[in-house]
Amino acid sequence: MMKASPKLSTATKKKVVDLRGRIAPQSTIIAVGAGKGGVGKSFFSSSLAYFLAQMGHKTLLVDMDLGAANLHTWLGEGLPSKGINEFMKDTNLTIGDVISPTMKNNLHLISGASEGLYNGDISDAEKSRLLSALYNYPTDYIILDLGAGTHTSTLDYFLMAQHHVVVFTPEPSSIENAYRFMKAVFYRKIRRYGSRLDIDQRIEHITKNNHNIKSPRDLLNTLHKEFPEISKDLKEVMNQLQFQIVLNQIRTAQDRNLGKGIKSVCQRHFGLPCEFLGALSYDNAVWQSLRQKKHLLVANPYSHLYAQIMAMARKLADPSQPKNMVS
């Protein structure tokens, strides 16, 4: 995987072509998803973006919640005049035309607000145009704040990133929905990106032969054993998907263990390495600062959350951080 070095200025960044002839993205893209609304995706995305900008990285925060966008509010900004909607409607616009600066140095925003645009209304061609515009936009970090649910567009936005963050809260319904989202992501990935490996046919073959497949991991293991000739490519494709788990709104120390437990369960279930990025405390200051139209990190730098988010931003931003890839 190619990773844009944050030290490089955007001007000197060249298009990097990997071994397969694919063009590597012009930034490090971090997608933030969840199964359920209201768990804190926007809070986390905006906070992460804030810290990355603080650390000196040129950061673009994109509100991909096309139906009900509100990211500008989190940053304490007014509603920008242009955003994703305008980009989608007017094919003469480039992605640069709809980016707005913010009060924070290095931090830029693409708003998704104004009147509703629904995932279901977007054609494949429109979706590709948006994806490739973001993919080819040269900057240090792009953070995608996704909408809730498992619409295929949402899954594709999530999969275009190199970092796959999933936000949980300790409530069972949030956990269940997040797992459902992750399963949908997994199957979208294996079907879409494995299509050149005849994955559909092979999966059908395996299930017809009555192997005992209860989880994505069983599926991977069986594919890997039954079809050794694709095993290498399949591993390469699937190893790109490493979930990074954030547990938001924790209230007790025990909740922190829950985060580690979720990571273990995901690893067992998907058979892919996952990471527990960290836990975020529940703090009334979050909605209080929102009401003051200021970002929490500006309004209340003494919150526990400040250090917690900073630690996660550092983890994500450090390119030397070892990734436990499966060989």
Partner 1 sequence: MYQEEETSFYDLLEISPSAGPTEIYEAYQRARETYSPHSAAIYSMFTEEEARELLRLVDEAYSTLSNRSRKRAYDLRLGLLDDEELKNETPNAYHSHPNKSPEKQDSLVEERKVGRAEEGWTGIVKVHRKVDPLPEGQERTRFSTYTVDAQFEKDIEDVEECDGSFLQKIREYKNVPLQELSEAMKTSRSTLRALEENELDRLPVQVFTRGIVVQYCRMLGLDEHKVVAAYMTYYKSQKST
Name the residues that contact Mg ion, by CB under 5 A.
Answer: 41-42
Residue 228 touches which of partner 1, Mg ion, ligand ATP, none (Cβ within 5-8 Å per kind): partner 1
Binding partner of residue 273 among partner 1, Mg ion, ligand ATP, none, CB cut-off 5 to 8 Å per kind = partner 1
**Dihedral pair phi/psi, residue 272, rounded to 5°:** -125, 150
Beta bridge mates, 61: 109, 143
Q: Does 278 bind ligand ATP (CB under 6 A)?
A: no
Tokens representing residue 134 in the block? 């973001």
Among 4, 34, 182, 262, binds ligand ATP (CB under 6 A): 34
Give the list of residues 6+ apart from residue 260 with CB closer than 8 angstroms, or none: 276
Query: What does the alpha-carbon distance between residue 295 and residue 110 come to, in Å, rounded to a whole number?
Result: 17
Compute the distance between CA of residue 143 and CA of residue 63 in angstroms, rounded to an integer: 9
Which of 43, 276 has the CB closer to ligand ATP?
A: 43
Q: Which partner from the list partner 1, ligand ATP, Mg ion, none does 34 bind, CB cut-off 5 to 8 Å by kind? A: ligand ATP
Relative orientation angle of helices 124-135 and 152-160, to the nearest 10 degrees: 20
The tokens for 198 are 């005849």
- 286: enclosing H helix or E strand: helix 285-291
User: Which of the choices Mg ion, partner 1, ligand ATP, none does residue 35 contact, using the CB cut-off of 5 to 8 A by kind?
Assistant: none
Maximum C-alpha span of the chain: 60
Residue 117 interacting with ligand ATP (CB under 6 A): no
Give me the least distance between CB of 112 and ligand ATP, in Å please. Answer: 10
102 near ligand ATP, rule: CB under 6 A: no
Q: Rule CB under 6 A: is residue 282 a binding residue for ligand ATP? A: yes
Identify the DSSP state of 312: H
Applying CB under 6 A, which of residues 63, 65, 77, 275 lies at the interface with ligand ATP? 65
Identify the residue among 31, 35, 43, 259 touching ligand ATP (CB under 6 A): 43
CA distance 174 to 300: 27
Residue 21, SS3 per DSSP = coil
Which residue number, 82 or 180, has a Cβ lying nearer to partner 1?
A: 180
Interface pick for ligand ATP out of 27, 248, 303, 308 (rule CB under 6 A)? 248
In the complex with Mg ion, the residue whose CB is nearer, 68 or 326, is 68
39 scored as a contact of ligand ATP (CB under 6 A): yes
Structure tokens that stand for 95 in this block: 């992605």
C-beta of 41 vs 163, nearer to Mg ion? 41
d(CA 51, CA 75): 12
- Binder of ligand ATP out of 134, 274, 290, 313 (CB under 6 A): 290
Question: Helix (H, G, I), strand (E, B), or coil: what is residue 305?
Answer: helix
**Token pair 């240090």 is at which residue?**
140
Asked if 283 interacts with ligand ATP (CB under 6 A), we say: yes
Q: In what order do the strands lie in the sheet with 141-146?
A: 100-101, 107-110, 59-64, 141-146, 28-33, 163-168, 243-250, 275-281
Q: Which does 271 bind (CB under 5 to 8 A by kind): ligand ATP, partner 1, Mg ion, none?
A: partner 1
Binding-site ranges for partner 1 (CB under 8 A): 170, 172, 175-176, 179-180, 198, 201-202, 205-206, 209-210, 214, 217, 220-221, 224-228, 235, 257-258, 260-262, 264-269, 271-273, 326-327
Torsion of CA 20, 26, 28, 29, to 10 degrees: -90
Which range in 32-40, 136-144, 210-218, 221-229 contacts ligand ATP by CB under 6 A? Answer: 32-40
Q: Nearest Cα to 8, choosing from 140, 124, 114?
A: 140
Residues that bind ligand ATP (CB under 6 A): 34, 37-43, 65, 148, 248-249, 280, 282-283, 286-287, 290
